[in-house]
Amino acid sequence: MAECGVCFRHCNLSEGQTGFCGARICRDGAVTADNYGRVTSLALDPIEKKPLRRFHPGSRILSVGSYGCNLRCPFCQNAEISWSEEAFRLRESAEYVTPEELAHTAAYYRREGNIGLAFTYNEPLIGYEYIRDTGRLIHEAGMVNVLVSNATAELSVLEELAPVIDAMNLDLKGFTKHYYTDVLGGDLDMTLAFIRRAVRICHVELTTLIIPGENDSEEEMEELCRFIRNLKNKAGDTIGTEVPLHISRFFPRFHMTDRGATEVAKIYRLAEVARRHLKYVYTGNC
């Protein structure tokens, strides 16, 4: 048996067994990334699509995804590569791309305005070793690395990646333990700790997807923004008002089709609430 140290689950795995995320495996008595280099998605995107609005605006970035996820969001936008039955089958068919090959591809697309690599689409932290190895090569080429994540990982994983990550968009999906535990299958305390540390490392923007009847109250938005407002940088200075927040509209998807899309007026109202605390608030999917 070996214990995985990536997230709060700390899966104990026997030889050949795969963890809850579907991407980490016990091999030769140690837990490693079974999805290392296994690419399922690759696209040259506007940086604003990550979404990042205050990091190299107007540029493009090569976005790469693998398979697997350590949460179980019923509204998952990328379920086919994250945690559906289809995603679990990708272990057999995903194309293997070495860090060197991916870095070369990123450099090739410089001619089309590419500034680096964004690790996104599924949950990238469950395969953090690939980010670390590829990210070093991207930096050597004078390009940048972006992480788009649910922020559900131990701080030791974040520290491993800190030298190679230039910007992050992190999900802060809500601000109640009930929502994180019972709806998402996550851990709010781990996410908050990750965010607190991340803002001391690099540029961070946060995203909250508003689900009708779940995390859409003005009171919860007030609490969430008070947390952001009090975030501190590496020097210990309070910088939270400068951290951008993206408030996004939900559409029925995957296992959550029992309600309609979030009302646009609700998104705009919650953005007004957020602007009482934060300087940079953006609305999405409206």
Cβ neighbour number for residue 284 with a 10 Å cutoff: 17
Q: What sections of the chain are H helices per DSSP?
A: 79-82, 85-93, 99-108, 128-140, 155-161, 177-178, 188-198, 218-229, 264-274
Query: What φ, ψ does residue 285 adopt, rounded to 5°?
Result: 65, 25
- Mapping DSSP to helix (H, G, I), strand (E, B) and coil, where does residue 166 land? coil
3-state secondary structure 226-261: HHHHCCECCCCCECHHHCCEEEEECCCECCECCCCC
Q: Is 106 exposed, middle or buried (0-12, 13-18, 19+ CB in 10 A)?
A: buried
User: Residue 40 has which token pair?
Assistant: 């399922």
Coil vs helix vs strand at 200: coil
Delineate the domains of the chain, giving CATH numbers in brackets: 2-284 (3.20.20.70)
Give the Å distances, CA to CA, from 258 to 42, 75, 168, 252: 31, 11, 32, 7
Asked if 131 and 146 touch (Cβ cutoff 8 Å), the reply is no
DSSP letter for each residue of 41-83: EEEEEEGGGTT-SSSSTT-EEEEEE-S--S---TT-TTHHHHT
Could you identify the residue written with the tokens 């991916």? 102
Q: Within 10 A of 135 (CB to CB), how many other CB atoms are there?
A: 26
Would you say the pTM of this structure is higher than 0.85?
Answer: yes
User: CA nearest 214: which of 252, 164, 175, 170?
Assistant: 175
Q: What is the DSSP letter of 168?
A: E
For the chain, 286 residues long, give each residue's pLDDT as a single digit of tens.
899 999 999 999 999 999 999 999 999 999 999 999 999 999 999 999 999 999 999 999 999 999 999 999 999 988 888 887 776 777 777 889 999 999 999 999 999 999 999 999 999 999 999 999 999 999 999 999 999 999 999 999 999 999 999 999 999 999 999 999 999 999 999 999 999 999 999 999 999 999 999 999 999 999 999 999 999 988 888 888 999 999 999 999 999 999 999 999 999 999 999 999 999 999 999 8
Distances from the Cα of 246 to the Cα of 11, 53, 155, angstroms: 32, 9, 24
